[in-house]
Amino acid sequence: MKSRESIIRLKRFQVDDKRRQVAQIEAMIADFDRRVKELDDQILAEQERVGITDVAHFAYPTFAKAAMQRRDNLKASADELNGQLERAQDKLAEAVEELKKIELMEERDQEREREAADEAELDEIAGRNHAFGS
């Protein structure tokens, strides 16, 4: 039984670790999305300031072009992180499932032990009653 308890502790640690990884990736995606929004706002403000929205225009602001490139890079990174997030969520679900299976086995074993102890106690009581009755 002790080894199963160790396995349960290990599996719980693994589940917690995978939850942290998922949360970390989600936080990074949220940060990238926030930065993309900020860059969009800066691009729009720069376009309004100079009055040019056509990127192909010869006088289009260099700052806006650079901000667009940074925004596009962040979007690509966020897309890549979304793929990592899906994989991390799948691994978390697998780890949770493994933990549940082991915990269920432990519960069944404990129930069997309780039933055996109850049965032994009843046998002992019946034996005493039989001894007093004879």
Written as tens digits, the pLDDT of the chain (134 aa) is 578 889 999 999 999 999 999 999 999 999 999 999 999 999 999 999 999 999 999 999 999 999 999 999 999 999 999 999 999 999 999 999 999 999 999 999 889 988 888 888 887 887 777 766 55
**17: nearest Cα among 93, 92, 98:** 92
First CA to last CA distance, the chain: 41
- CA neighbours closer than 13 Å in the CB half-sphere of residue 75: 11
Q: With beta carbons less than 8 A apart as the criterion, state whether 10 and 55 touch.
A: no
What is the pTM (predicted TM-score) of this model?
A: 0.76
User: Domain 2-109 falls in which CATH fold?
Assistant: Helix Hairpins (1.10.287)
Domain spans, the chain: 2-109
CA distance linking residue 106 with residue 102, whole number of Å: 6
| pLDDT attached to residue 1 | 53
What is the reported pLDDT for 83?
97
CB–CB of 102/8 below 8 Å?
A: yes
